[in-house]
Amino acid sequence: MTPWSGKKLAVWAMTPQGAELALGVKEQWTHADVFLSSKLDINGEHKTFTSFSHSLGQVWNQYDGHYFIMATGIVVRVIASLLKDKTLDPAVTAGDEAGRFVISLVSGHMGGANALARELSAALDAQPVITTSTDVNQAPSIDVIAKEHGLYIENKRAIRHVSMAYIKGQALPLHDPFNLVRPHLPKSLVEQPPMFSPTRSGVFVDYAVRDLPGLVLILRPKCLVAGIGCRRGVSKEELEAFIRVVFQDQGLSIHSLARIVSVDLKADEPGLNQLATALDAPISFYSTNELDQVKSVPNPSPLVDKHIGVKSVCEAAAILATGQRSLIVTKQASKTATIAIAAMPFTS
């Protein structure tokens, strides 16, 4: 399976020769959608557009990538207003009508345009054109490594400092207690022991918050699970303020939050579900029978046991979700909620 297998691709063309090439791509990439100018009288499965810029704007973010079979100048002018952030923009490739070249134009690393250009070129017997410095210099791409391993990039501006050092062959300090990034870097690029300083870059991979120099790239593993118990009617705002305070007080990054768990009696609680949406964290629920299987919790509650028949919600749910016997943060309580935090184990 290739990186672009199953991803949504849009192929755009304005001329008869471009349309022929686009439909040829469709034959090999059956999951691709072809968009052709309405001025063309072309047979084959495709969609039409009358205004290129308007139609592209409507579907821009509905696709993982776009392949424009036309002059790059046209493409650049049209997509300029659509570009937001290299971590969010879809992959953009462009190529000539003869199918000789496929250019990775935008989101080469994070969006996967470099990989898309290579795959399209292989399918078309074309030449991929890749201009990103790390690829040209055969240096590791730290942003690609982060994306492939589900690491949240906390300070994207630091990527260029790390990349430049790797291009120059300079070793950087690496804090990576879970061994998530280290296996993907040459040993020659990893400084031992890691000594961070204000004058150069480095890479810090951890859910723990530290006071680090601005040039250090901070990557957050999505591994923390928050078990939450709450009163009926608690608002999303109350819960969010509370969980952020707990994470901050405990020196943990909210960007490492991977999941929220609770008891199924709270599955219809609006504030709890809205919290999960706001923090972009999946939420799941356990039955009281499942929670009751967790026999040892640090802070059992007779009151909770009396009302729902289990000694713990937040601590038991966090332990159950991670399979861990210990918690990073034991039960923290506010007037309306309780929170406990555990970490999922790493297998890599």
Token pair listed for 111? 């969006």
Range of the domain at 157: 142-221
pLDDT at 306: 77
Residue 2 lies in a domain: no
Q: What is the CATH number of the domain that holds 58?
A: 3.40.50.11220
Q: What is the pTM of this model?
A: 0.75
Which of 189, 206, 221 is the last residue in one of the domains? 221
Write down the pLDDT at residue 210. 95
Say if CB 27 and CB 51 are below 8 A apart.
Answer: no
Helix or strand (DSSP H, E) at 279 = none
Q: How many domains does the chain have?
A: 3
Q: What pLDDT, on the 0 to 100 scale, is given for residue 137?
A: 61
Same domain as 127, residue 150: no
User: Is residue 284 in some structural domain?
Assistant: yes
H-helix or E-strand spanning residue 59: helix 52-59
pLDDT at 136: 63
Q: Would you say residue 335 lies in a domain? A: yes
CB-CB contact of 216 with 158 (8 Å): yes
Query: Around Cβ 194, how many Cβ atoms within 10 Å?
Result: 16
Mark 249-286 as b/e (b = at least 16 C-beta within 10 Å). Answer: eeebbbbbbbbbbbbebbeebebbbebbeebebebebb
Residue 54, domain member (yes or no): yes
pLDDT score for 135: 62
Same domain, 101 and 57: yes
pLDDT of the residue at 30 = 86
pLDDT in tens, 140-196: 789 889 988 899 999 989 998 998 999 889 999 999 999 999 999 999 999 988 899
Q: At a CB cut-off of 8 Å and minimum separation 6, what does 340 contact?
A: 226, 227, 314, 315, 317, 318, 327, 329, 330, 331, 332
Q: Do 242 and 317 fall into the same domain?
A: yes
Task: With respect to residue 258, please indicate whether it lies within any of the assigned structural domains.
Answer: yes
What is the pLDDT, as a whole number, of residue 1?
Answer: 45
What are 208-233's pLDDT values in tens digits? 999 999 999 999 999 999 999 999 99
pLDDT of residue 36: 95
Where the chain has pLDDT below 70, the residues are 1-2, 133-139, 347-348
In a shared domain, residues 235 and 339: yes
Give domain status of residue 116, yes or no: yes
Domain edge (last residue) among 69, 102, 131: 131
- Does a structural domain hold residue 137? no
Q: Report the distance separating Cα 239 and Cα 19, nearest Å.
A: 53
Contact 173, 191 (CB under 8 A): yes
Provide the pLDDT for residue 348.
Answer: 47
